[in-house]
Chain A
Amino acid sequence: MRRAGMDQGGTGLAASGENMVGTGKGGARRRWVATLAAALLAFPGIAFADWAWNFQPPASPIADQIERLHELIFWICVVIFIGVFGTMFYILIKHRKSVGHQAAQFHENTTIEVIWTVIPFLILVSMAWPATKVVLAMHDTSAPDMTIKVTGYQWKWNYDYIDEGFNFYSTLSTTLDQIQNRQKKDPHYLLEVDHPLVVPVGEKVRVLVTAGDVIHSWWVPAFGLKQDAIPGFVRDTWFRADKIGTFRGQCAELCGKEHGFMPVVVEVKSKDDYATWLAAEKQKLAAVADDPNKVWTQDELVAHGKKVFDGNCAACHQPTGTGNAAIGAPALVGDKVVLGPAQHQIDVVLNGQTNGVLQHPPAGGKMPSWAQLSDADIASAITYTRNSWGNKAEQNVIQPKDVKAERK
């Protein structure tokens, strides 16, 4: 299948933007198929969409091995398929009553029954052998060049460069207007994030995968890597990207309302570019590092709080604070908790709650725990809710140290 050149046009999910428009032989053939289907089915919008139908071009040795294995087994199946159904159609044509065929009455033949038990078994052994080699290769997480811890949350990823001592969240950057069809969709609609994971090309990256609330699954098709993220347990896996570019995947385990909206984006850079990025990232982090004793102004808190709120809370409570009754997310406009004592609101945000009862991670409540956010982020978001959409709370400035005091 791969040799047919059909996947060379790229699928959009795959390597960087240049590949979005089908080019070359594969693309031309795909356009021909598109035209034919358009004529047959007369769908609107066909000229703009794509007919992605095969694996993304592999960008790691494992993905490449998986694709070769799939090809091998696919073609073995095709040959058996043709044999079995060739026979079936031969029978249907030749042994019909309407062509005057008389039924024989045999109903047993031990020899042939043994043959068609043993031969499939041997075919299976020939499939299992190469498959076993790939399984073992996928499990070899020894001697990595670097380690990254990936944590799934409802509904974002955290990437922790544990050798470097910093981490960041990676959240969908497609706007709500695009999702609700009020705005034209980007080329990478639903597959774009604010902070992609950045890794150097050619290095063996060990990935530790876990989750903070429910089960997620971290999947990068071009690397042949999919690992469920289990809350309370850490699993390890690895990849070695052998191409520079941007690679896109999605959460692959149903994790609630926004499951379809937590993409995985990995940028593979050359070693030099990666070093430059790493240095810049560390500098940036040092500049904004929380000084726990810093006293923020109300304007600073509200401005930063809006970003935190829109990135984390708006999925349920809505950007306008009006809530979503269908999933039990209350309106924050005029809400008792938001207008009441700050300490209680901090508790709810840190611990999560169900029907007014505080919960504790990792089981989580209907309102999940947000303890993974920094003190400054939580203080800002709470301050923002207390000063927005007409809310005027008595305690309207919450400092990071207030949050810190509530953490246990």
Chain B
Amino acid sequence: MSSITQPIGGHADVAGGHEHHPSGIMRWITTTNHKDIGTMYLWFSFTMFIVGGVFALTIRSELFEPGMQIVTPERFNQLITLHGLVMIFGALMPGAVGFANWMIPLQIGAPDMAFARMNNLSFWLLPPAAIMLLLGLFVPGGAPETGWTLYPPLSIQQGMGMDLTIFAIHIMGASSIMGSINIITTILNLRAPGMTLMKMPLFCWSWLITAYLLIAVMPVLAGAVTMLLTDRHFGTSFFNAAGGGDPVLFQHVFWFFGHPEVYIIILPAFGLISEVIPTFSRKPLFGYASMVYALCAIAILSFLVWAHHMFTVGLPAAGILFYMYATMMIAVPTGVKVFNWLATMWRGSITLEAPMLFALGFLFLFTTGGFTGLIVAIQPIDVQFQDTYYVVAHFHYVMVAGTLFAFFAATYYWLPKWTGHMYNETVAKWHFWGSFIFFNVAFFPMHFLGLAGMPRRIPDYAQQFTNWNQVSTVGAFGFGLSQLIFLYAVVSCIRGGKPAPAKPWDGATSLEWTLPSPAPYHSFPTPPVVQ
């Protein structure tokens, strides 16, 4: 490692005279440039977001009325599974890695990621994995009908779509682990002179912690699905009681991955929001140190709460009490973060450009999802909510209005740096209000459906659930269409627009704003010196 840290200054040749690179498709296939790779990650994420969105709208269309209309029950279950897997592994995680690739080197003053070639491989593993995942729809038996959680013995019954899914998860896991190693190495070794860890932008901090989480839990998921594979084809009985196994063992292993996974998805979003709010409040982030400690606390607690996803499997009372208390504890560091963001805004000089609007939308809706999270953490209440639409509402408040809104905020925040053009503020505001309003129309009624007793993952429902389902479907289509505004805003910003200055936001302070816009293909060939 020391060989990397020392000669940073001597790497001037990384940039000079290297502005020319392969053009056309070969530029993207062979690139080792963190900006190119970040761009590919972000477009991949958006593509999968649209694919997963089409699945979601098919689901919502089927649920517009009682009775079966559009798809068969088995196809419905397959769409449920793929919607979850595509959004989590295709849209949210690669999206976060895209921001990391683009911004971490710029924010810490590094010339590129530490392992540039591995970076290329990390990305290029994703498209084949996604194709394998989606191929399930076209093989005999279709994609898994299990939901993204893949619980056995149901997953043992599935056709070859299940095997495709298992291999796709293996590949995506490998991609995530390589990406994480790269991010950790970059942050620990390539920071500019003077940039101590506690001076790093909070986005880099959030990713440093996320990367450790990924390295800790992606192998656990790989282990779980490998055991599924051997149970399916090689006669083992990890999850088969008749052979001495236990179906619930899978749930323990899966959620030991699955709960940290939730934080893998939300922590980078916390980091992004911590960049945007100070900038548009024109005031330094309040409680930087406690923000870092809160991130660490959330990460550690995330390993101790997995069984709250299993509150109805029949855990002993002592187990339930432990997981209930531990889960409730997460409200403390999360609360600290929300209070710190508010304190950052307090007595600031606030303007409401699109990044700030999305950050405020995040704050409002993510916190709402946090409250419902606290409610479902209370085990007796969760007995009524487990596997109902209340839970569906809860995790869409934290994943969509949380992470996705943070991605939108960050995209508008950095588009001028990426493209050299200002985006159209009016179009972006339309995107925000469309997303904000229709998100709530789509997902708020799901709380009512869950309270009234509608299970999740059902293709047809009793008639007293009709009206809220119809409201929700209308909202879902509105939300989906609002994302076309986003596509328009981004594409038109790439193609042209008012030229962006090096620092378009007067409250911004981090290193990327010292570079011209668009950021040069090779940036920081000589590291900047921080204070």
Measured CB to CB, the residues of A under 8 A from B are 11-13, 34, 37, 41, 43, 45-46, 48-56, 62, 65-66, 69-70, 73-74, 77, 80-81, 84-85, 87-88, 91-92, 95-98, 101-109, 112-113, 116-117, 120-121, 124, 127-128, 131-132, 134-136, 138-139, 178-181, 185, 187-191, 209, 213-215, 217, 219, 221, 224-228, 230-233, 235-237, 249-261, 326-328, 354, 360-366, 368
What's the Cα separation between A217 and B147 when bound, in Å? 15
Given A91-B345, A108-B286, A362-B241, do A124 and B331 touch, yes or no (CB 8 Å)?
yes
Measured CB to CB, the nearest residue on chain B to A55 is: B451
Q: Is the CB of A11 within 8 A of B287?
A: no
Q: Is the CB of A134 within 8 A of B455?
A: no
What's the Cα separation between A180 and B352 when bound, in Å? 50
Q: Of B157, B351, B457, which is within 8 A of A214 by CB?
A: B157
Closest 4 CB pairs of A and B: A232-B241, A260-B458, A235-B314, A52-B452
What's the Cα separation between A135 and B314 when bound, in Å? 12
Measured CB to CB, the residues of B under 8 A from A are 65-69, 72-75, 77, 80, 140-142, 145-147, 151-154, 156-157, 159, 231, 240-242, 246-248, 281-290, 312-314, 316-317, 320-321, 324-325, 328-329, 331-332, 335-336, 338-340, 342-352, 360, 363-364, 367-368, 371, 374-375, 378-381, 383-384, 386-388, 448-449, 451-453, 455, 457-468, 470-471, 474, 507
Given A11-B453, A53-B452, A96-B350, do A226 and B328 touch, yes or no (CB 8 Å)?
no
Given A103-B282, A139-B317, A362-B242, do A259 and B458 touch, yes or no (CB 8 Å)?
yes
Q: Of B142, B375, B461, which is within 8 A of A260 by CB?
A: B461
Q: Of B347, B379, B470, which is within 8 A of A104 by CB?
A: B347
Q: Is the CB of A95 within 8 A of B287?
A: no
Given A50-B467, A116-B336, do A103 and B378 touch, yes or no (CB 8 Å)?
no
Q: Is the CB of B328 within 8 A of A127?
A: yes
Given A101-B349, A124-B329, do A55 and B156 touch, yes or no (CB 8 Å)?
no
What's the Cα separation between A230 and B325 when bound, in Å? 26
Q: Is the CB of B67 within 8 A of A179?
A: yes
Q: Cβ of B458: which chain A residues have Cβ within 8 Å of it?
A: 250, 259-260
What's the Cα separation between A355 and B255 when bound, in Å? 32
Q: Which of B286, B360, B380, B457 has the most CB of A within 10 A?
A: B380
What's the Cα separation between A250 and B387 when bound, in Å? 11
CB distance from B401 to the nearest CB of A (A): 14
Q: Is the CB of A251 within 8 A of B464?
A: no
Q: Cβ of B368: which chain A residues have Cβ within 8 Å of it?
A: 81
Q: Of A49, A121, A209, A231, which is within 8 A of B153 by CB?
A: A231
Q: Cβ of A50: which chain B residues have Cβ within 8 Å of it?
A: 463-467
Q: Cβ of A228: which chain B residues have Cβ within 8 Å of it?
A: 312-314
Q: Is the CB of B349 within 8 A of A97?
A: yes
Q: Is the CB of A134 within 8 A of B332?
A: no
Q: Is the CB of B324 within 8 A of A131?
A: yes
Measured CB to CB, the nearest residue on chain B to A133 is: B380
Given A136-B317, A224-B383, A250-B458, do A326 and B283 touch, yes or no (CB 8 Å)?
no
What's the Cα separation between A190 and B458 when bound, in Å? 11
Q: Is the CB of B464 within 8 A of A127?
A: no
Q: Cβ of A255: which chain B residues have Cβ within 8 Å of it?
A: 154
Q: Of B153, B159, B313, B462, which is within 8 A of A362 by CB?
A: B153
Given A73-B378, A107-B288, A231-B247, do A364 and B153 touch, yes or no (CB 8 Å)?
yes
Q: Cβ of A54: which chain B residues have Cβ within 8 Å of it?
A: 448, 451-452
Measured CB to CB, the nearest residue on chain A to B363 is: A88
18 more CB-based (< 8 A) A-B contacts, given A95-B281, A135-B380, A326-B75: A12-B464, A41-B471, A55-B452, A70-B384, A91-B350, A101-B347, A103-B507, A106-B347, A127-B378, A139-B317, A181-B67, A233-B314, A252-B455, A254-B77, A256-B145, A364-B156, A366-B157, A368-B157
Q: Of B140, B344, B452, which is within 8 A of A11 by CB?
A: B452
Q: Is the CB of A113 within 8 A of B336?
A: yes
Q: Of A120, A252, A364, which is within 8 A of B335 by CB?
A: A120
Q: Cβ of A178: which chain B residues have Cβ within 8 Å of it?
A: 67
Measured CB to CB, the nearest residue on chain A to B311 is: A226
What's the Cα separation between A127 and B471 when bound, in Å? 33
Measured CB to CB, the nearest residue on chain A to B158 is: A366
Q: Is the CB of B68 within 8 A of A53?
A: no
What's the Cα separation between A95 and B211 when bound, in Å? 36
Q: Cβ of A102: which chain B residues have Cβ within 8 Å of it?
A: 349
Measured CB to CB, the nearest residue on chain A to B65 is: A45
Q: Could you jot down 16 A-B contacts, CB within 8 Å?
A: A50-B465, A66-B381, A88-B360, A92-B350, A107-B288, A112-B343, A116-B335, A189-B463, A209-B314, A221-B384, A236-B314, A254-B457, A257-B73, A326-B142, A360-B242, A365-B157
CB distance from B159 to the nearest CB of A (A): 7
Q: Cβ of B380: which chain A residues have Cβ within 8 Å of it?
A: 62, 65-66, 69, 131, 134-135, 138, 224
Given A49-B464, A81-B367, A250-B455, do A361 and B242 touch, yes or no (CB 8 Å)?
yes
What's the Cα separation between A12 and B454 when bound, in Å? 12
Q: Cβ of A368: which chain B residues have Cβ within 8 Å of it?
A: 157
Q: Is the CB of B470 within 8 A of A92?
A: no
Q: Is the CB of A95 within 8 A of B348?
A: yes
What's the Cα separation between A65 and B378 when bound, in Å? 13
Q: Is the CB of A108 within 8 A of B248?
A: no
Given A116-B335, A128-B325, A256-B145, do A232 and B349 touch, yes or no (CB 8 Å)?
no
Q: Cβ of B69: which chain A residues have Cβ within 8 Å of it?
A: 181
Q: Cβ of A250: which chain B residues have Cβ within 8 Å of it?
A: 453, 455, 458
CB distance from A391 to the nearest CB of B (A): 25
Q: Is the CB of A124 within 8 A of B345?
A: no
Q: Is the CB of A107 within 8 A of B286?
A: yes
Given A53-B468, A85-B364, do A108 and B383 touch, yes or no (CB 8 Å)?
no
Q: Is the CB of A221 within 8 A of B457?
A: no
What's the Cα separation between A353 and B360 when bound, in Å? 55
Q: Is the CB of A124 within 8 A of B461?
A: no
Q: Is the CB of A52 within 8 A of B464?
A: yes
